[in-house]
């Protein structure tokens, strides 16, 4: 029974929804020289028997668009910058071809070396996301000689080092802890073949860019010409694309799946105009209508997260919270309580906005709207995943959220959502009407090498907070 429960835990998977087959109709744009032909089935991927078996156990029936194109591109040895909607299968798109190559080459973990030399390093901005990627890697590598390991802050460093020294082929980590393990001489880089940046736009912005440059400049790190670099995200501002070129080979492939920077049409988006002092009452009204369905409530600050969680508990709504100041065990307990439905409401800061794949999240509430439209897209992407239907309700305060109005109108229009008349009026009056097309183009962002230019409807601003601000909920260790 114990072995069965372990296998069930490892191979538990996200159930696809009624709209999963709609993925076949999503537009795809592939640019770059001689891109490999897409696959239509997992059989065409030529996976080895053990990997194919684990893919089947994981409930994968047919590849999503990012997997159809991404797997053959990576298998062909090409560098890749891939942009696809949240919940579209990006993690498997890079893990499967990497693990396939390592398995075919007979790579095996060894615990007899005091310096581990992983063949692949995967970096992500938050502890929860990198642990999720690790669990996916462990699932696909189950029963093979390939050993994934995860390193991140909040866990005893000695324990982390002992886990790495048991053998490590795929090292998953947050930037600070990854650099620390390398700096201690416990991890060497001379055998590295693959460098993967998940949520790449965040990994290359003003907060994490120095760490990424330090990583690729570490002693023993193969040059970009001698390694394969893969970048995945749901949003790619043009300035981030330019910066990414420093890490990629000149002939990298750019893959855009769906409306780049757009929201999934499986999420029903509702924008409610409300002033700051009426938000709590409005939140109660929303949560009373959702009952015990899992709901994520996003706020901008850690203090607000604790305050709103306490308020909801006082109102007899079972609620937990997650943010950067909570200890790791508290964060893991909060996510566990939310996943199991013991606390159907999770109040969160941006630490939970990216990549987290929690089944049966039916609702997202933006109690506070973020300052950037990219963050909005990531937040509402916590629901409506894998073809399932979701709902996102956002509180719009004209006093603070007007700069986001025009981009909101574009995202709503692009996802075939109803745009409130009052929001359109605010959007048109915010910066004038010149050049404002709420319907936009099919792809909101294109490969910058084509000479295209990404135009934002927001006023010029920094692409990300300063490191001090970014550290608020992103992980340096």
- pLDDT digit string, tens, across residues 389-434: 789 999 999 999 999 999 999 888 887 888 999 999 999 886 543 3
pLDDT band at 27 (very low <50, low <70, confident <90, very high): confident
> To the nearest whole number, what is the mean pLDDT of the chain?
83
Q: Residue 254's pLDDT is what? A: 94
pLDDT bucket at 362, cuts 50 / 70 / 90? confident
Pairing of strands 345-348, 294-298: parallel
Q: Are residues 19 and 125 in the same domain?
A: yes
Residues 307 and 435 both lie in one domain: yes
Within a domain: residue 224? yes
Among 182-196, 335-349, 425-439, top mean pLDDT goes to: 182-196
**Based on the domain organization, do 212 and 65 belong to the same domain?**
yes
Selected residue with higher pLDDT from 20 and 344: 344
Reported as a pLDDT band with limits 50, 70 and 90, residue 372 is confident
| Pair (242, 349) in one structural domain | no
Rounded Cα distance between 126 and 451, Å, is 33
Average pLDDT over residues 168-184: 96
Same domain, 243 and 300: no
pLDDT at position 435, please?
A: 40
What's the pLDDT score for residue 290?
A: 87
Decide which of 228, 257, 286 is a domain's last residue.
257
* pLDDT at res. 158: 93
pLDDT of 188 above 90: yes
CB 415 within 8 A of CB 262: yes
Q: How far apart are CA 336 and CA 120, in angstroms?
A: 29
Residues 46 and 154 placed together within one structural domain of the fold: yes
User: Structurally, how many domains does the chain consist of?
Assistant: 2
Digit-coded pLDDT (tens) for 287-304 = 988 888 899 999 999 999
Least confident of 29-33, 259-263, 313-317, 335-339: 259-263
**Any domain includes 135:** yes
User: Is residue 417 in some structural domain?
Assistant: yes
Check whether residue 186 and residue 318 sit in a common domain: no
pLDDT of residue 205: 81
Instruction: Report residue 34 CA to chain centroid gap.
Output: 28
Among residues 257, 282, 315, which one ends one of the domains? 257
pLDDT at 2: 36
Same domain membership, residue 365 and residue 344: yes
The domain boundary residue, chosen from 194, 222, 257: 257
Same domain, 70 and 90: yes
For residues 70 and 173, state if they share a domain. yes
Task: Identify which of 14-18, 26-30, 141-145, 353-357 has the greatest average pLDDT.
Answer: 141-145
Quick check: is 262 in a domain?
no
Q: Kindly indicate the confidence band of residue 73, based on its pLDDT and cuts at 50, 70 and 90.
A: very high
**177 confidence band (pLDDT: 50, 70, 90):** very high
Beta strands in 203-246 (DSSP E): 228-233
- CATH at residue 176: 3.40.50.300
Examine the domain organization and report whether 251 and 335 are in the same domain: no
Helix (H, G, I), strand (E, B) or coil at 148: strand
Same domain, 16 and 72: yes
pLDDT digits (tens, 9 = 90+) for 93-113: 999 999 999 999 999 988 888
Checking if the pLDDT of 259 tops 80, the result is: no
The residue segments making up the domain with residue 229 are 2-257
Please give the Cα distance from 127 to 130 (Å, whole number): 5
Distance CA 124, CA 212 (A): 11
Q: What is the pLDDT of residue 356?
A: 67
Residue 83, pLDDT > 60, answer: yes
């Amino acid at each position: 029974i114990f072995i069965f429960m372990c296998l069930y835990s490892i191979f538990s998977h996200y159930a696809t929804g009624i709209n999963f087959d709609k993925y076949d109709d999503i537009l795809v744009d592939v640019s770059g020289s001689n891109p490999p032909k897409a696959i239509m089935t997992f059989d065409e991927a030529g996976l080895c028997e053990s990997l194919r078996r684990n893919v089947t156990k994981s409930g994968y029936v047919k590849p999503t668009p990012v997997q159809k194109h991404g797997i053959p591109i990576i298998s062909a040895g090409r560098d890749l910058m891939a942009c696809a909607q949240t919940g579209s299968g990006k993690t498997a798109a890079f893990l499967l071809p990497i693990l396939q190559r390592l398995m075919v080459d007979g790579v095996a973990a060894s615990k007899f070396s005091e310096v581990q030399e992983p063949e692949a390093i995967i970096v992500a901005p938050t502890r929860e996301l990198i642990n999720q990627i690790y669990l996916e890697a462990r699932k696909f590598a189950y029963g093979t000689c390939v050993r994934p390991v995860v390193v991140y802050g909040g866990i005893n460093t000695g324990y982390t080092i002992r886990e790495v020294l048991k053998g490590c082929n795929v090292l998953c980590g947050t930037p600070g802890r990854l650099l620390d393990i390398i700096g201690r001489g416990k991890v060497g880089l001379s055998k590295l073949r693959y460098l993967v940046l998940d949520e790449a736009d965040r990994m290359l912005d003003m907060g994490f860019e120095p760490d990424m440059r330090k990583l690729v400049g570490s002693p023993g790190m193969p040059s970009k010409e001698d390694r394969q670099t893969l970048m995945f995200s749901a949003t790619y501002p043009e300035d981030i694309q330019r910066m990414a070129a420093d890490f990629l080979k000149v002939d990298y492939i750019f893959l855009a799946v769906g409306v780049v920077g757009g929201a999934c049409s499986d999420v029903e988006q509702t924008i409610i105009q409300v002033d700051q002092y009426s938000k709590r009452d409005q939140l109660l009204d929303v949560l009373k209508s959702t009952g015990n369905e899992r709901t994520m409530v996003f706020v901008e600050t850690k203090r607000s997260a604790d305050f709103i969680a306490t308020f909801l508990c006082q109102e007899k709504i079972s609620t937990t919270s997650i943010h950067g100041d909570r200890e790791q065990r508290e964060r893991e307990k909060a996510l566990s309580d939310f996943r199991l439905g013991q606390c159907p409401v999770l109040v969160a800061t941006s630490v939970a906005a990216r990549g987290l794949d929690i089944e049966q999240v039916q609702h997202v509430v933006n109690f506070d709207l973020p300052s950037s439209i990219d963050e909005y897209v990531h937040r509402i992407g916590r629901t409506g995943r894998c073809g399932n239907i979701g709902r996102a309700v956002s509180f719009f305060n004209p006093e603070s959220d007007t700069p986001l109005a025009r981009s909101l109108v574009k995202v709503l229009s692009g996802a075939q959502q109803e745009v409130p008349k009052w929001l359109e009026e605010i959007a048109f009056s915010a910066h004038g009407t010149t050049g404002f097309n709420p319907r936009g183009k099919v792809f909101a962002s294109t490969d910058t090498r084509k000479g295209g230019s990404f135009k934002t409807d927001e006023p010029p601003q920094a692409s990300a907070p300063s490191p001090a601000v970014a550290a608020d909920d992103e992980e340096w260790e």
